[in-house]
Amino acid sequence: MRAWRAAGLTVPAAAAAAVGLLAFAAPAGRAAPGDDLLLGAELYVAQCAACHGEDGTGVEDRGPPLTEEGPAAVDFVLRTGRMPMPHPRMQPRRGPPRFTEAQIQSLVEYAGAFGDGPAIPDVDVTGADLASGARLYQLNCAACHVASGAGAAIGGGREAPDLTQSSPTEIGEAIRIGPGAMPVFDSFTDEDIDDVAAYILHLKQQETTAPRDFGGAGPVAEGLAAWLLGLIPLVALTRWIGTPHEGRDAPVEPAEPTAPPTPGEGPPS
């Protein structure tokens, strides 16, 4: 589910035929498609099958299989606008959702059934423990997303995204599925997810990524700022040391030349 591509079918008849095939090839145990499931099948054929295959087994060099994914993965990439992608080799980045709420739910119901991955978590930040969330965040998340949640480059052309744009459910989904370079945190309980989500919402409310808050721009920008703040005073001090100062650097008076001795005269006895 991490490399969808926006690829529409231009011939309605072809799309209808493919939808019919998908209805018969639905995963075992699934009931005949209802209205929502039929809509999901139609959207999947038009927007996803070109890269992930009509049966979700993937397409070589275009998109991975969905057989290891599940509802949480499908819901996450659709709600964060990471899918569908203009090109399969691009790094998925957050953007506005491409589908309506009804379309997302239909796609989650249809494409989410290809795999047995995690279900969409039920995240509740009401009554969550902020202190526990802060501790878990600092130990597990801050190294990549920085202390403020603003995100940063993590090398290899990859980046940890800004978390303050995420909803509690999206945070829980990311913890469960490990999108991109992020690991899966299997050790997190449902309560841990609630606490971390509540703490990230707290960071958002505190506006910790604002320019006035040093520590919110990420290590690259902050490292450059630290170098500039240290380098400018050092250059000024060096110039001050190298400039002559009255009373400290008095000019040296040249020595008076002495007349050479007269030939034939010896040294005084």
Task: List, for residues 219-255, the tens digit of each pLDDT value.
Answer: 554 555 555 567 777 777 777 676 766 656 555 566 6
pLDDT at residue 89 in the model: 75
**Would you say residue 15 has pLDDT above 50?**
no
**Would you say residue 9 has pLDDT above 60?**
no
Q: What would the CATH number be for the domain defined by 12-114?
A: 1.10.760
Q: Do domains 12-114 and 121-235 have the same CATH topology?
A: yes
Q: Where are the domains of the chain?
A: 12-114, 121-235
The Cα-based distances of 52 to 59, 101, 156, 164, 170 in angstroms read 5, 22, 25, 30, 22
**Would you say residue 42 has pLDDT above 90?**
yes
Q: What is the pLDDT of residues 78-94, one digit of tens each?
A: 999 999 987 777 778 89
Q: What would the CATH number be for the domain defined by 121-235?
A: 1.10.760.10
3-class secondary structure per residue, the chain: CCCCECCCCCCHHHHHHHHHHHHHCCCCCCCCCCHHHHHHHHHHHHHCHHHHCCCCCCECCCECCCCCCCHHHHHHHHHCCCCCECCCCCCCCCCCCCCCHHHHHHHHHHHHHHCCCCCCCCCCCCCCCHHHHHHHHHHHCHHHHCCCCCCEEEECCEEECCHHHCCHHHHHHHHHHCCCCCCCCCCCCHHHHHHHHHHHHHHHHHCCCCCCCCCCCCHHHHHHHHHHHHHHHHHHHHHHHCCCCCCCCCCCCCCCCCCCCCCCCCCCC
Q: What is the pLDDT of residues 96-151, one digit of tens each?
A: 999 999 999 999 999 999 999 999 999 999 999 999 999 999 999 999 999 999 99
Mean pLDDT of 1-24: 39
Contact between residue 157 and residue 93 where contact means Cβ atoms under 8 Å apart: no
Residue 113 CA, distance from chain mean position: 27
**Would you say residue 190 has pLDDT above 70?**
yes
